Amino acid sequence: MGSYWIDTTDAPVRPPPEGDLRADVVVVGAGIAGLCAARELVRAGREVVVLEAGRVAAGASGHATGKLTSLHGLRYARLAHERGPEAAELYARSQEEALRRTVLLCGELGIDAELERVPAFTYVMDGERAPEVFLEAEAARAAGLDARYVTVTGLPYPVAAAVRVEDQLQFHPRRFLLGLAEDLVARGGVVHEGTRVTGLRELAECRLTLAGGAVVHASDVVLATQFPLVCHSGLMARLTVRRELVVAAPVAAGDAPEGMYFTEEDGVRSVRSAPYPDGRRLVIVTGEAVTPGAGGTGQRLARLEAWAHRHLAGFPGGPAPYRWAAQDVYSADHLPYIGHEHPDTQHVFVATGFGGWGMSNGVVAGPLLAAHVTGGPRPPWTELYDPRRLLPLREIGEVARSQATVARHYMAGFGPPPRCTHMGCELGFDESEQIWECPCHGSRFAADGTVLHGPATAPLERKDLP
Ligand code: FES
């Protein structure tokens, strides 16, 4: 269960700080949103320290599928209906700007991120859903994307209907992010790995505590850690978490479908391919989305591999050579939260709720967060992504449902199985990965109780289980 992107990149170790620190801005999390924000801030003349609990680009960004597209499932019709056509247009513009910016950054910094321009598709197999896809194509085009309704794609199996958007990007996400980190450090930024933030207080200035007791002072703090490690705003109640499995195998170049494909059917299926060192193409298939802690990873992997073998030319039968899992955070209204962490804060900012589209939304977050911190000109989509926005009425039910799930897992947590050290939900044990997972906000713990993924910051209590 190792990400292909992480296995194929070497990164210098960036050790934890030796004592207390001070910086203009502390960015927590060295994934795509954190690194993009940090780089913008360094360029704006700020002294920036990035604190990463694990390794650079080895969390959600290092496990993503590396699709950099403005087409996000069936989002535009819904957005236009709920927020109006202007909101859909702003969303499309912000995403297209992220694509443009990524190409620019790769060129400017000389990063070989295996960038490829390909079309992106959202498709359905169920003919009854074709009208929904038609409306999405119309809404995406009205929002400004080069989108059309099609019934033929580059996939080797038939689909009922699809939206096709031209000129989208796929890339090697970790190569891109390691290039950004290198540039950040070359410009005077500092990155510390293996550095877990355990607390944050905003007083006259921000004060972060680190596991081990060191303290970091900063004028501003950016939290780019999926679920924010502190939450004063109830934002956490408006987020849910989902895990998807990824399998990948090299196939003959002629067998790899050209383009990026996504369907919500079958528990989500996503297909793309990437260059492979021996001239073949690596076909990457994602799916089998579940809430963390649901278990059954072995069966779900086998189901995904069997699907890939049945549907995609050249994809081998049996266990795929590469297997990993990706974890994503979803907002209640399907728009990311990028901006002030709560209505009263002036100096703590978040970027979260990317809903499975973290590559483009992470790049969107960078300059937007930097503009919040510096007070510079803000992009026209600032309000669209503001975490302080009101929920549309219909989303309130969704929040209530997700909170009821949290409450159920919390109540269940008083029994013998381990409880999460974040807010006490009952954990599920994944046999295949030998990991404890929290269904409430996605914390993950090694079998010995060590925190692998927040928002939890404290290890599990040792106890003998029956
Ligand atoms: Fe919040 Fe477990 S991650 S309760």
Structure-block tokens of residue 62 = 């290092």
Between helices 85-109 and 173-186, what is the axis angle to 10°?
70
Phi, psi of 396 (to 5 degrees): -65, -40
**What number does the ligand 1 atom closest to the CA of 409 have?**
4
For a mutational test of ligand 1's pocket, the pick from 409, 441, 451, i.e. the residue with the most ligand atoms closer than 8 A to its C-beta, is 441
Which of the four pLDDT bands, split at 50, 70 and 90, describes residue 211?
very high
Rounded to whole angstroms, how far apart are CA atoms 340 and 161?
A: 40
Half-sphere exposure of 279 (CA within 13 A, CB side): 1
Which of the four pLDDT bands, split at 50, 70 and 90, describes residue 406?
low
- Pick the range with the lowest mean pLDDT from 62-76, 375-389, 398-412, 448-462: 398-412
**What number does the ligand 1 atom closest to the CA of 443 have?**
3
DSSP state of 442: -
Q: Measured in angstroms, how far is the CA atom of residue 253 from the centroid of ligand 1?
A: 43
Q: Measured in angstroms, how far is the CA atom of residue 389 from the centroid of ligand 1?
A: 24
Q: Give whole-number Cα distances, 425 to 408, 428, 441, in Å.
A: 8, 10, 9
Encode pLDDT of 132-189 as tens digits. 999 999 999 999 999 999 999 999 999 999 999 999 999 999 999 999 999 999 999 9
Residue from 182, 159, 236, 151 nearest 57 by CA:
182
Encode pLDDT of 300-320 as tens digits. 999 999 999 999 999 999 999
**What number does the ligand 1 atom closest to the CA of 423 have?**
4
Answer yes or no: are the C-beta atoms of 211 and 412 closer than 8 Å: no
Structure-block tokens of residue 453 = 């993924």
Structure-block tokens of residue 232 = 């004063």
Task: Tell me what pLDDT residue 352 has.
Answer: 96
Task: Tell me what pLDDT residue 412 has.
Answer: 56
**What number does the ligand 1 atom closest to the CA of 442 have?**
3
Phi, psi of 195 (to 5 degrees): -125, 100
Rounded to whole angstroms, how far apart are CA atoms 155 and 180?
A: 33
Task: Tell me what pLDDT residue 188 has.
Answer: 97
For a mutational test of ligand 1's pocket, the pick from 440, 445, 461, i.e. the residue with the most ligand atoms closer than 8 A to its C-beta, is 440
Helices (H), 241-357: 297-311
Ligand 1 pocket, CB under 6 A? 420, 422-423, 425, 438, 440-443, 455-456
**End-to-end Cα spacing for the chain:** 28
The β-bridge relationship of strands 48-51 and 21-28 is parallel
Half-sphere exposure of 119 (CA within 13 A, CB side): 19
Q: Measured in angstroms, how far is the CA atom of residue 120 from the centroid of ligand 1?
A: 34
Which of the four pLDDT bands, split at 50, 70 and 90, describes residue 6?
very high
Tell me if the bond preceding 455 is cis, omega within 30° of 0. Answer: yes
On the question of pLDDT at 410 being above 60, the answer is no
Which of the four pLDDT bands, split at 50, 70 and 90, describes residue 293?
confident
Find residue 163's DSSP bridge partners.
122, 149
The β-bridge relationship of strands 239-251 and 206-210 is unpaired
Rounded to whole angstroms, how far apart are CA atoms 41 and 43?
A: 5
Does the predicted TM-score (pTM) go above 0.95?
no
Task: Tell me what pLDDT residue 231 has.
Answer: 64
On the question of pLDDT at 234 being above 80, the answer is no
Which of the four pLDDT bands, split at 50, 70 and 90, describes residue 403?
low
Structure-block tokens of residue 400 = 């209530």
The residue that leads in pLDDT, 182 or 430, is 182
**What number does the ligand 1 atom closest to the CA of 456 have?**
3
Q: Measured in angstroms, how far is the CA atom of residue 428 from the centroid of ligand 1?
A: 12
* Sheet-wide strand order for 451-453: 428-430, 435-437, 444-446, 451-453
Task: Tell me what pLDDT residue 296 has.
Answer: 87
Rounded to whole angstroms, how far apart are CA atoms 268 and 241?
A: 15
- Mean pLDDT (whole number) for 257-284: 96
On the question of pLDDT at 462 being above 90, the answer is no
- Mean pLDDT (whole number) for 270-298: 94
Q: Measured in angstroms, how far is the CA atom of residue 84 from the centroid of ligand 1?
A: 34
Q: Measured in angstroms, how far is the CA atom of residue 287 from the centroid of ligand 1?
A: 24
Residue nearest to atom 4 of ligand 1 (CA): 423
197-206 burial, b at 16+ Cβ within 10 Å, e below that, comes to bbebebeeeb
Q: Measured in angstroms, how far is the CA atom of residue 131 from the centroid of ligand 1?
A: 39
Task: Tell me what pLDDT residue 430 has.
Answer: 87
Task: Tell me what pLDDT residue 237 has.
Answer: 84
Encode pLDDT of 336-360 as tens digits. 999 998 888 899 999 999 999 999 9
Half-sphere exposure of 293 (CA within 13 A, CB side): 23
**What number does the ligand 1 atom closest to the CA of 425 have?**
4
The residue that leads in pLDDT, 429 or 177, is 177
How does DSSP assign 133-185, residue by residue?
HHHHHHHHHHTT--EEEES--SSSS--SEEEEEEEEEE--HHHHHHHHHHHHH
Q: Measured in angstroms, how far is the CA atom of residue 414 from the centroid of ligand 1?
A: 14
Rounded to whole angstroms, how far apart are CA atoms 48 and 185?
A: 10
Q: Give whole-number Cα distances, 135 to 127, 129, 139, 149, in Å.
A: 14, 10, 6, 9
Residue 263: what residue type?
T
Rounded to whole angstroms, how far apart are CA atoms 166 and 189?
A: 36
On the question of pLDDT at 415 being above 60, the answer is no
On the question of pLDDT at 196 being above 80, the answer is yes
Q: Measured in angstroms, how far is the CA atom of residue 424 from the centroid of ligand 1?
A: 6
Q: Return mean pLDDT, the chain.
A: 93
**What number does the ligand 1 atom closest to the CA of 410 have?**
4
